[in-house]
Amino acid sequence: SQKIEQNSEALNIQEGKTATLTCNYTNYSPAYLQWYRQDPGRGPVFLLLIRENEKEKRKERLKVTFDTTLKQSLFHITASQPADSATYLCALASGGSYIPTFGRGTSLIVHP
Amino acid sequence: EADIYQTPRYLVIGTGKKITLECSQTMGHDKMYWYQQDPGMELHLIHYSYGVNSTEKGDLSSESTVSRIRTEHFPLTLESARPSHTSQYLCASSAVGHRLTDTQYFGPGTRLTVL
């Protein structure tokens, strides 16, 4: 069956360091992958999209990599700040409906 | 900040009541979705719509129904609420983007508690 795996343990890092979050998937042939941020009690907010034929995407302090051979995406936040503390969700979409399926998310806690 | 609204934000009701969760968007998006999310868990797609008069069931079996009479409005109805319906309900919309990408804009959610 199709599965999206994100680390269920919270990631704790110090302010200023780079946070790296992982999204692994099985039994998908994704057309694209997205990362969203979700704060407690609120809906997710879109951050970045990367297509199957792209290796890397950047936006300000954010960087996403996509390795379809390893079936893995890495999400990096450089120079992290306490305001970056949130849950980060990855979402995959395959051909057909192209509706994304969301992972459970990983909680990031940035300590001052 | 996305222009998508959900009401009510919080709702506590008794078993057996009929409820409607409202969702409206002002972005002119054709596609709209309803997700259910429990704390620390994945979003589960329960209904979606490609446009007016289009409704489809999602991956998660649900006892709810939806309608899409106007582009901007996508209400979700539970005919008879049960404690198992207690959850967070998130509405989203999207416009089909370049090369069929689907970036979703979410509302703030409705936290439903059924006693």
**Higher-confidence residue: B87 or B62?**
B87
Looking at residue B100, its pLDDT comes to 64
**Higher-confidence residue: A32 or B74?**
B74
* Residue B98 pLDDT exceeds 60: no
pLDDT tens-digit readout, A41-87: 899 999 999 998 999 999 999 999 999 999 999 999 999 999 999 99
**Higher-confidence residue: B103 or B32?**
B32
Pairwise CB contact (< 8 Å): A43 & B41: no
User: How many CA atoms are closer than 13 Å to the CA of B69, on its beta-carbon side?
Assistant: 2
Mean pLDDT value across residues A86-105 = 88
Looking at residue B99, its pLDDT comes to 59
User: Closest partner residue to A49 among B43, B101, B106, by Cβ?
Assistant: B101
Mean pLDDT value across residues B42-49 = 93
Closest CA to A32 of A73, A96, A92: A92
Rounded alpha-carbon distances, angstroms, from residue A56 to A4, A6, A53:
20, 19, 10
Which chain B residues have a beta carbon less than 8 Å from that of A106? none
pLDDT, mean over chain A: 93
User: How many CA atoms are closer than 13 Å to the CA of B76, on its beta-carbon side?
Assistant: 30
Q: How far apart are CA B53 and CA A33, in angstroms?
A: 29
Looking at residue B63, its pLDDT comes to 87
Looking at residue B9, its pLDDT comes to 96
**Token code pair at residue B6:** 């959900």
Rounded alpha-carbon distances, angstroms, from residue A4 to A24, A77, A89:
6, 21, 10
Residues of B with CB under 8 A from a CB of A: 2, 33, 35, 40-43, 45, 48, 59, 90-92, 96, 99-109, 111
Main-chain phi, psi angles of B19, to 5 degrees: -135, 150
Helix (H, G, I), strand (E, B) or coil at B61: coil
pLDDT, mean over chain B: 91
Pairwise CB contact (< 8 Å): A99 & B102: yes
Closest CA to A107 of A32, A39, A24, A28: A39
Rounded alpha-carbon distances, angstroms, from residue A10 to A19, A72, A85:
11, 19, 10
Q: How far apart are CA B59 and CA B106, in angstroms?
A: 18
**Token code pair at residue A55:** 């290796």
Mutation target among A28, A36, A57, A102 for the B interface, most CBs of B within 10 A: A102
Q: How far apart are CA B83 and CA B114, in angstroms?
A: 5
**Higher-confidence residue: B61 or A70?**
A70
Looking at residue A27, its pLDDT comes to 86
A111 near A13, Cβ under 8 Å?
yes
Q: A68: which residues sit within 8 A by CB, 6+ positions away?
A: A30, A52
